[in-house]
Amino acid sequence: MEPIEQVVAMPRIGDKAPEFKAVTTQGEINFPNDYKDKWIILFSHPADFTPVCTSEFMTFAKMEPEFTALNCQLVGLSIDGLYSHIAWLRTIQEKIEFKGMKNIEVKFPLIEDISMEVAKKYGMIQPGESSTKAVRAVFFIDPKGMIRAIIYYPLSMGRNFDELKRALIAMQTADTFGIATPADWRPGDDVIVPTAGSCGVAKERMENKDDITCSDWFFCTKPLPLEKVKTK
């Protein structure tokens, strides 16, 4: 009789972020409790000493002050040991140059996950892609410890870090102002006003001469000036 493989359901948007304790390059962490009242980007990469991952870590490390200014903690993970992590990050700082970046020090925690416990808990192992390496997963976790967005990339494709920052700002802006953001929204663009919940509100919006512009009752936008949006 074949052994039954344990199946762990992937966390979904709106779920509470699975908790764990782990050893990292910045000491032990209790996740996500150590980062209460902060946003968190938890991301996985396939392996240390690989070129795509190296380019990503350099980019994240360079942008870390920008994420910190947005009250966001970066936390990385791969299925490698702590000493491998330390050696790889030291190599990045001492030897690697990429897009004008060099002498890059990675200061955010990188989780040791040889047991794959955390990777499996977050659905980062996808056997169709690899049974021994985590895919490039990105989890956005809000200050209440809830998963707000999930993005997955294959092993062969590096992430778009401008998009990761844009997504974070868009979610924070939606929470602050009670709005939604349209396709390709950038800070300073018009935002979407929530759909009217009654005929009366819909009629009022269509007749509104203030700052709300309605193409129809269900599609209304309004300006949100760049200076009101927290971008740094």
Q: Which of 81, 77, 136 is nearest to 108 (CA)?
A: 77
CA distances from residue 174 to 15, 170, 189 in whole angstroms, order as listed: 19, 6, 13
Residues annotated in a binding site: 136
Gyration radius of the chain over CA positions: 21
Which helix H or strand E contains 171, and what residues bound it? helix 161-177
Q: Which of 7, 24, 41 is nearest to 112 (CA)?
A: 24
User: Which of 64-68, 133-137, 195-199, 225-229 bottoms out in mean pLDDT, i.e. has the lowest?
Assistant: 195-199
| CATH T-level topology, domain 20-175 | Glutaredoxin (3.40.30)
Q: Is 150 helix (H, G, I), strand (E, B) or coil?
A: strand
Contact 134, 77 (CB under 8 A): yes
**Model pTM?**
0.89
Q: What is the DSSP letter of 152?
A: E
Tens digit of each residue's pLDDT (9 = 90 or more) over 46-82: 889 999 999 999 999 999 999 999 999 999 998 899 9
Tens digit of each residue's pLDDT (9 = 90 or more) over 74-131: 999 988 999 999 999 999 999 999 999 999 999 999 999 988 899 889 988 776 666 5
Residues annotated in a binding site for substrate: 136
Half-sphere exposure of 162 (CA within 13 A, CB side): 4
Q: What is the DSSP letter of 128?
A: T
- What is the CATH code of the structural domain delimited by 178-228? 3.30.1020.10
95: amino acid identity, one letter:
K
Q: Which of 53, 72, 199, 214 is catalytic?
A: 53
* Sequence spans of domains, the chain: 20-175, 178-228
Shared fold status for 20-175 and 178-228: no
Tens digit of each residue's pLDDT (9 = 90 or more) over 156-168: 899 999 999 999 9
214 is catalytic: no
